[in-house]
């Protein structure tokens, strides 16, 4: 059984740029959720994708968008990067929408200069 | 909006029992989860409670009281490897999640 993987591990961008982060869900999981975790804080829910549709969204602006592909892997896109977007971005996979038990990937550390 | 309160830091000795409390305010409540996160690592799932009562998984137990909007995580026979941050998280409106700021547990020999 393959766990959740994310790429890249680290990324440095400048303010105003755009970034795409990638996530492969655990084998058999059809639901992916994305989180932003600032240093010393808990993960903040960005949105969830279930069977290629956005299934739920937290309090993040529209410049945070995503995709889910037929193999259930997912992308997080962030446009017009701001300094406050610097954080660890985590994806988590689960079964059949919702997500009582979520399996997290190792995260992508994004630094915005 | 959603809110969660949990202690920022707890210290206990190896072999002891520790309880981490979590109180929440949310609409559309579905359940309460607990996750463990070691420094530099990813959160790992510990437990989920949708109904009132105690759920036990090995050394860890989790409790929920929906009427009191309160839950706790109980860790028994503490080991050094239990030193980590522990997050409670509410699941609400079926497919949304809100995490607390975390409790840093320090286990001392």
Predicted confidence (pLDDT) at residue A1 exceeds the cutoff of 70 = no
Segments in chain B below pLDDT 70 = none
- On whether any CB of chain B is under 8 Å from the CB of A60, the answer is no
Interatomic CA distance for residues B108 and B52, integer angstroms: 32
Residue of A nearest to B37 (CA): A42
Cα of B31 to nearest chain A Cα, Å: 8
Kindly write down the DSSP assignment for every residue of B45-97, as one continuous string. EEEEESSSEEEEETTEEEEEETTTTEEEEEE-S--GGG-EEEEEEEEETTTEE
B33 contacts in A (CB within 8 Å)? 100-102
Total Cβ atoms within 10 A of residue B5: 13
Residues 6 or more apart whose CB falls under 8 angstroms from that of A102 comprise A33, A92, A93, A94, B33, B45, B97
Interatomic CA distance for residues B49 and B57, integer angstroms: 12
Average pLDDT over every residue of A43-72? 95
Buried b (16+ CB within 10 A) or exposed e, B13-50: eeeeebebebbbebeebbbbbbbbbeeeebbebbbbbe
Average pLDDT, chain A: 95
- On whether any CB of chain B is under 8 Å from the CB of A30, the answer is no
Q: What pLDDT, on a 0 to 100 scale, did the predictor assign at position A100?
A: 83
A54 contacts in B (CB within 8 Å)? none
* Cross-chain CB nearest to B99 (options A43, A98, A105): A43
Contact A5, A72 (CB under 8 A): no
Residue A96's pLDDT band (cuts 50, 70, 90): confident
Bridge partners (DSSP) of residue A17 are none
Digit-coded pLDDT (tens) for A19-38: 999 999 998 899 999 999 99
Total Cβ atoms within 10 A of residue A99: 27
Interatomic CA distance for residues A41 and A9, integer angstroms: 19
B31 contacts in A (CB within 8 Å)? 100
């Amino acid at each position: 059984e393959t766990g959740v993987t994310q790429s890249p591990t680290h990324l440095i961008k400048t303010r105003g740029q755009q970034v795409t982060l990638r996530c492969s869900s655990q084998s058999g999981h059809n639901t992916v959720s994305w989180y932003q975790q600032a240093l010393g804080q808990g993960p903040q829910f960005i949105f969830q994708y279930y069977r290629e549709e956005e299934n739920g969204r937290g309090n993040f602006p529209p410049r945070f968008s995503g995709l889910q592909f037929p193999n259930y892997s997912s992308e997080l896109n962030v446009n017009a990067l701001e300094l406050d977007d610097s954080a660890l971005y985590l994806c988590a996979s689960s079964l059949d929408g919702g997500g009582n038990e979520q399996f997290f990937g190792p995260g992508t550390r994004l630094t915005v200069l | 909006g959603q809110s969660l309160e949990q202690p920022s830091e707890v210290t206990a000795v190896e072999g002891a029992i520790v309880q981490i409390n979590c109180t929440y305010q949310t609409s559309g409540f579905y359940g309460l989860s607990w996750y463990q996160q070691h420094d530099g690592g990813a959160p790992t799932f510990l437990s989920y409670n949708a109904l009132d009562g105690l759920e036990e998984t090995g050394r860890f137990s989790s409790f929920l009281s929906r009427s009191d909007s309160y839950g706790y995580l109980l860790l028994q026979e503490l080991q050094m490897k239990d030193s980590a941050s522990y997050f409670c998280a509410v699941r609400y409106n079926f497919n949304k999640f809100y995490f607390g700021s975390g409790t840093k547990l320090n286990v001392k020999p």
